[in-house]
Amino acid sequence: MVRERAVEVDGIRIWLAEAGDPARSPLLVLHGLYDRWESWEPVLPALAERFRVLAPDLRGHARSAWPADGYRLADYASDAAALLESVTGGSAHVVGFSLGALVAAVLAGTRPELVEALVLEDPPLASFGEPARAWLTALLEAKQAGEEAAYELARELHPERDETEWRREAAWLCDTADGPFLALLEGEHRPDPWAVLPSITCPTLVLQADPLAGGALDDESAARALAALPRGTLMRFPETGHAIHRERPMEFVETVLEFLA
């Protein structure tokens, strides 16, 4: 059973979904750009058998508050820290995907007392070049144009998916504030994740999707991240796209639970 509620953290309304026995160790899961907590549904039941899973909507996403600004990694990480302190009163294991992986890294690097172990799922650590800017601009323009434009873009970007997934992606894109996209496009994504990796003292598992299948973490960046992390481990998922937990949910759960054990 999933329990949902709003939590006020530092004046920001964060929508939180919880699953699993509240007496179990907490596991905080942080979703990606224009996702929402429901993106974890393929793996949530299995994770909730072992943990008290906390799955928030990030600020600017879905049912959480959409402030006019405050979309730096430091802002997201501050929300996550305040959420843990408010809900659990202590530390947790943390899993982050894509944008959520960068947030999780900043959280672990700046508030190490709150993170017992860390899983970074295909973090987009590569240089922020023109292809990424073009992708973000297309997403922002489509969401501003409305759900049908967002639907057509989803079909163009992911022709291998089906009608249900295109409609879901379009709805979730339109249910995201402009701020998260503008912050990336305007270079407001601070601090630099590379600067915090050496400060992450907890055990850290980096999950790398296949760059040839749409993964965001290239081999060079993966090797550099592993060298920067004091206690890092790398696990590769060949022939798997960016969202490992959605494309390979069973393998994802098995890998994460084995690491966190």
- Residues 1 and 134: their CA atoms lie apart, in Å, by 40
Mean pLDDT over 9-20 rounds to 96
Mean pLDDT over 122-146 rounds to 90
CATH code for position 207: 3.40.50.1820
- Final residue of a structural domain among 186, 201, 217: 186
The region of weakest confidence among 28-42, 49-63, 82-96, 130-144 is 130-144
Confidence (pLDDT) at 131:
81
- For 235-256, give one letter per residue: b (16+ CB within 10 A) or e: bebeebbbbbbbbbbeebbebb
- Contact indicator for 73, 103 with CB cutoff of 8 Å: yes
Q: Find the domain containing 178 and state its range.
A: 129-186
* Span 136-182, pLDDT tens digits: 999 999 999 999 999 999 999 889 889 999 999 999 999 999 999 99
For residues 243 and 207, membership in a common domain is answered with yes
For residues 198 and 172, membership in a common domain is answered with no
For residue 7, what are the β-bridge partners?
A: 14
Mean pLDDT over 98-112 rounds to 97
Confidence (pLDDT) at 188:
59
For residues 51 and 163, membership in a common domain is answered with no
* Span 180-199, pLDDT tens digits: 999 999 875 678 899 999 99
Q: What confidence tier does 129 reach under pLDDT thresholds 50, 70, 90?
A: confident
For residues 122 and 220, membership in a common domain is answered with yes
For residues 59 and 139, membership in a common domain is answered with no
Domain count, the chain: 2
